[in-house]
Amino acid sequence: MLKGKHIILGISGGIAAYKSVTLLRLLVKAGAEVQVVITPNGKEFITPVTLSALSGKPVICDFFTANTGTWNSHVDLGLWADLMVIAPATASTLAKMAHGVADNMLITTYLSAKCQVMIAPAMDLDMYRHPSTKHNLELLQQYGNLILEAESGELASHLVGKGRMEEPETIFNRIEEFFSNSNQLAGKRVLITAGPTYERIDPVRFIGNFSSGKMGYSLADECARRGAEVVLVSGPVSVSANSPAVKVLKVESAKEMLEQCLLNFSTCDIAIMCAAVADYHVKNSCDHKIKRENDEIPQIVLEKNPDIAATLGKIKKQDQITVGFALETNNELSNAKSKLLRKNLDMIVLNSLNDKNSGFGTDNNTVTIIQSNGEMLHYDNKPKIEVAKDIVDTIIDNYL
């Protein structure tokens, strides 16, 4: 599976660098072509001679090769790679990656990489749990990188806690998994709705909701990562898609969202309706700013919005799969199941507002996936990008 794959192994200056030698050995044995890029501090922990002997290629550390003056092109490297793995990633390297501090070859290569980047952090426990490290890891995850969380255990400092780099065998398994998953949705077209809708009251005011779009955008990136062509119809959000395979169509209202969905649905194999569509729009919306006049209180008259999921459910063909979401506060399961039937969905993802650190605006979610055949699986609280993987896995395992 790894035969002929081009992998950049980035090594920064932490004691866990010794484990990267095993990882390199495993990758080369599996047939991958590996280019090691090391930071100046990384060389203090592991010698380039070992790494070049094992990879069969000169190790890159500097922008120029001193004796020949040859320029090491980070741009070419970034284009060459099918995957970049940074293991170990120290606190300093994470910070530079998160903020684009391009002062060494590893960071310039990272910034030029067009491929997926996997990051295996390693550091002492206090550094790992420091708010700045946590924030940098969150940023890097938001940018679409895959984070292989550090493990707990004894650290080089003899302290015990979270900060140990994942074992090389585990990292190797994640790399194999990445390549085996990467074409599962090849040739498939996926339509996704995300974010809130804004229903105008007048040119400066609207009715909206707290949806951040994070779940829908994570799903879009995950589908693209598995090889799908993705059309993302998005309400107003501040997040963005990481993958160039995601075509984003920005809309404002439920009516506009429905229009875009109808234009794209017939050519899609899968539709995932993740948007928090407003139930109503303003019937008596005003085309000029409503003024505060005397004591008169303006009355907003609401009118029902179209149900996009139900509309697509009515026109879907046998080979099309539709997935919906349900955000419930009470009678969660029965409400979700009746929505699944009413909207003719193949699957519904239930998230409960009763769960802390879950739902609107958060980075995490706790979901139960319910299928139309009654099968149901509850998942633990996890980052939305991981939830997206569970959802996409369920679609692939059960419907494709």
**Which positions from 259 to 278 touch ligand C5P by CB under 6 A, shown as an x/- string?**
--------------xxx-x-
**Which is closer to ligand C5P, CB of 121 or CB of 196?**
196
Nearer to ligand C5P, 166 or 307 (CB): 307
Region from 22-30, 125-133, 301-309, 374-382 binding ligand C5P, contact rule CB under 6 A: 301-309
Q: Which two tokens stand for residue 389?
A: 């993987």
> Catalytic: 209?
yes
| DSSP alpha helix (H) spans, the chain | 17-29, 42-45, 48-55, 74-80, 91-99, 105-112, 125-129, 131-142, 168-181, 214-225, 254-265, 308-315, 332-342, 384-399
Question: SS3 for 206?
Answer: strand
Catalytic residue among 41, 181, 209, 264: 209
321 near ligand C5P, rule: CB under 6 A: no
Using the minimum distance from each CB to ligand C5P, give the nearer residue, 85 or 274. Answer: 274
- The three-state secondary structure class of 300 is coil
309 binds ligand C5P (CB under 6 A): yes
Total Cβ atoms within 10 A of residue 288? 8
Q: Which of 12, 234, 260, 305 binds ligand C5P (CB under 6 A)?
A: 305
Smallest separation, CB 214 to ligand C5P (Å): 14
In eight-state DSSP terms, residue 237 is -
- Return the residue of 14, 42, 144, 324 that touches ligand C5P, per CB under 6 A: 324
Task: Determine, following the binding rule CB under 6 A, whether residue 339 of this chain makes contact with ligand C5P.
Answer: yes
Binding status of residue 316 toward ligand C5P by CB under 6 A: no
Q: Does residue 326 interact with ligand C5P by CB under 6 A?
A: yes
- Calculated CA dihedral for residues 79, 84, 88, 91, nearest 10 degrees: 70
Q: If binding means CB under 6 A, how many residues of this protein chain bind ligand C5P?
A: 14
Of the candidates 349, 65, 62, 32, the one whose C-alpha atom is nearest the C-alpha of residue 219 is 349
Cβ–Cβ < 8 Å for 197, 208: yes
Q: Which of residues 156-195 bind ligand C5P (CB under 6 A)?
A: 193
Whole-number minimum distance, CB 271 to ligand C5P, in Å? 9
Cβ distance to ligand C5P smaller for residue 179 or 198:
198
Q: How far is C-alpha 241 from the chain's CA centre?
A: 8
CA nearest 382: which of 358, 400, 399? 358
Candidates 125, 140, 245, 308: give the one binding ligand C5P (CB under 6 A).
308
Q: Where are the alpha helices (DSSP H) in 15-71?
A: 17-29, 42-45, 48-55
Tokens 């699944």, located at residue:
340
Nearer to ligand C5P, 81 or 308 (CB): 308
Residues of span 190-249 touching ligand C5P by CB under 6 A? 193
CA distances from 123 to 13, 89, 130, 140, 170 (A): 10, 8, 11, 17, 18
Least gap, CB of 221 to ligand C5P (angstroms)? 18
Q: What are phi and psi of 178, to 5 degrees?
A: -60, -45
ω into 88 cis (within 30 of 0): yes
Closer by beta carbon to ligand C5P, 34 or else 323: 323
Q: Which residues bind ligand C5P (CB under 6 A)?
A: 193, 254, 273-275, 277, 305, 307-309, 324-326, 339
Residues marked active site are found at: 209
